[in-house]
Amino acid sequence: MYIDRQINRIYHLIDFEEIGTIYNLIHPLCREYDNHKLLTPLHFKSALANNILREINSIKDSHIVIHTTGKNDSFFLNNFQNLFPDKEVNIFMHVSYEYLRFKDRDREIIHSVYSQNSKRSFFVPSEEVAQQYRLAGISCKTIQLGIPEIQDNKDYKRNIPKLEEFYNKIITTCVRSTDLYKYIKGIDTFEKIIKKNELEEHALITGIDDQSHGSIKSKYFTQEDFLNVLYHSKMYLQFSRFESYNITAVQAKRLRIPVLLLDSEGNSSCMKGYVYSSEEELEQELLNILQNKGPVKKIEANYKDSLERENLSNFKQDLEQKLVRDDL
């Protein structure tokens, strides 16, 4: 037996305006479906704040989802009780419990937020991450993430002169230049393996403009330019130590680019098992691809799987069903 509630509108609350992985994930969903609406702190600090609050609190069968990484200075995590005193606020945690422990956020954020309203739904993007939270005593539901149909976009496939120096590279990503975040994304391991095999000229760290990597280039791109560079790359690989779900891997799969990920947290769900158990195994696959011994069957299998599973329709449907049904 389950409780089946209705869906009228879903308000997605994120802490960053037009930037970051979460924004790039949620914005297309809200652009595609009229009953999904994206809001940032700027909306609640503008002259329209009272109108927005009145709308959210008055619409029957509306749902609120805060998308977060558990940061202590999160505007919405710190203010949702005052903003929406009479609404059930749901939490979508986009990082793992082990990541929160590593960042020393687990006690202050997760337990306080989770315990404030036991009826609140708590969402995560992969079963591996869900298991971590359940072991910590936090009930949660997994949501299948999805992206737009990027595979047929000709803008990503055309040659753009200003970007050509970044084509045909071995790509990894890192969106912050702090040493701690580089460690989380495995940039130290990437550098070690690239230098060991004398591949510096063929490597690229995207997401940051940082000159501390010697002969390995690093570059920040807009989302559109990044997808163009990704399409023209040799492969995408990542040595992340924490990864709840890898959206760059989803994009690479759609563009039929080889994807090499360590078996870390949600990577296995993202790649349907096409992950590598060790740095050495991943390194060998990198060399195989460079010698034209690449995983052609895996590329096609990843592409088909992503089309069928990691799309906006499934993302919308899975989230809406699990917001209104208590048995899922």
Q: List, for residues 281-316, the tens digit of each pLDDT value.
A: 999 999 999 998 767 778 999 999 999 999 999 999
Same domain for 73 and 130, yes or no, is: yes
Residue 287 placed within a domain: yes
Same domain for 130 and 167, yes or no, is: no
End-to-end CA distance of the chain: 11
Is the predicted pLDDT of residue 228 greater than 80, yes or no? yes
The pLDDT tens digits of the residues spanning 258-275 come to 999 999 999 999 998 789
Q: Please give the pLDDT value at position 301.
A: 92
Average pLDDT over every residue of 27-44: 95
Predicted TM-score (pTM) of this structure: 0.92
The CA distance from 56 to 124, in Å, is: 24
The candidate with the shortest Cα–Cα distance to 135, out of 100, 101, 108, 97, is 97
The pLDDT tens digits of the residues spanning 47-73 come to 889 999 999 988 888 899 999 998 888
Q: Please give the pLDDT value at position 116.
A: 56
Residue 116 placed within a domain: yes
Same domain for 213 and 123, yes or no, is: no
Kindly state the tokens that stand for 226.
Answer: 């990044």
The CA distance from 107 to 315, in Å, is: 29
What is the overall mean pLDDT for the chain? Answer: 90
Q: Look up residue 67 and give its amino acid.
A: H
Which range marks the domain in which residue 248 is found? 154-309
Q: Look up residue 42 and give its amino acid.
A: L
Residue 4 placed within a domain: no
Same domain for 220 and 305, yes or no, is: yes
Is the predicted pLDDT of residue 240 greater than 70, yes or no? yes
DSSP output for 158-211: S--GGGGGG-S-EEEE-S--SHHHHHHTTHHHHHHHHHHTT-GGGEEEES----
Same domain for 116 and 219, yes or no, is: no
Q: Please give the pLDDT value at position 24.
A: 92
DSSP output for 14-69: -SSSS-SHHHHHHHHHHHH-TTEEEE-HHHHTSTTHHHHHHHHHHSTTEEEEEEE-
Residue 253 placed within a domain: yes
- Our count of domains for the chain comes to 2
Same domain for 109 and 251, yes or no, is: no
Q: Which phi and psi angles does 180 have, rounded to 5°?
A: -65, -45
Same domain for 25 and 92, yes or no, is: yes
Same domain for 229 and 183, yes or no, is: yes
Q: Please give the pLDDT value at position 41.
A: 93
pLDDT exceeding 70 applies to what percent of the chain?
A: 93
Is the predicted pLDDT of residue 326 greater than 70, yes or no? no
The CATH number given to whatever domain includes residue 102 is 3.40.50
Instruction: HSE, CB side, 13 Å, CA atoms: give it for residue 300.
Output: 3
Q: Please give the pLDDT value at position 230.
A: 98
Q: Please give the pLDDT value at position 2.
A: 43
123, 130 Cβ separation under 8 angstroms: no
Q: How confident is the model at residue 178 (pLDDT cuts 50, 70, 90)?
A: very high
Residue 2 placed within a domain: no
The CATH number given to whatever domain includes residue 191 is 3.40.50.2000
Q: Please give the pLDDT value at position 1.
A: 37
H or E, element range at 270: helix 267-271
Same domain for 316 and 301, yes or no, is: no
Kindly state the tokens that stand for 63.
Answer: 């749902």
Same domain for 188 and 248, yes or no, is: yes
312, 32 Cβ separation under 8 angstroms: yes
Residue 3 placed within a domain: no
pLDDT exceeding 90 applies to what percent of the chain?
A: 69
Residue 88 placed within a domain: yes
Same domain for 177 and 278, yes or no, is: yes
187, 156 Cβ separation under 8 angstroms: no
Average pLDDT over every residue of 17-32: 90
> Residue written as tokens 């914005």?
27
Q: Return the higher-pLDDT residue of 117 and 278.
A: 278
Is the predicted pLDDT of residue 3 greater than 50, yes or no? no
Same domain for 86 and 178, yes or no, is: no
Bin 160: left if φ > 0, else alpha if -120 < ψ < 50, else beta.
beta
The pLDDT tens digits of the residues spanning 72-121 come to 888 998 888 889 888 889 999 999 999 999 998 877 666 666 655 556 78
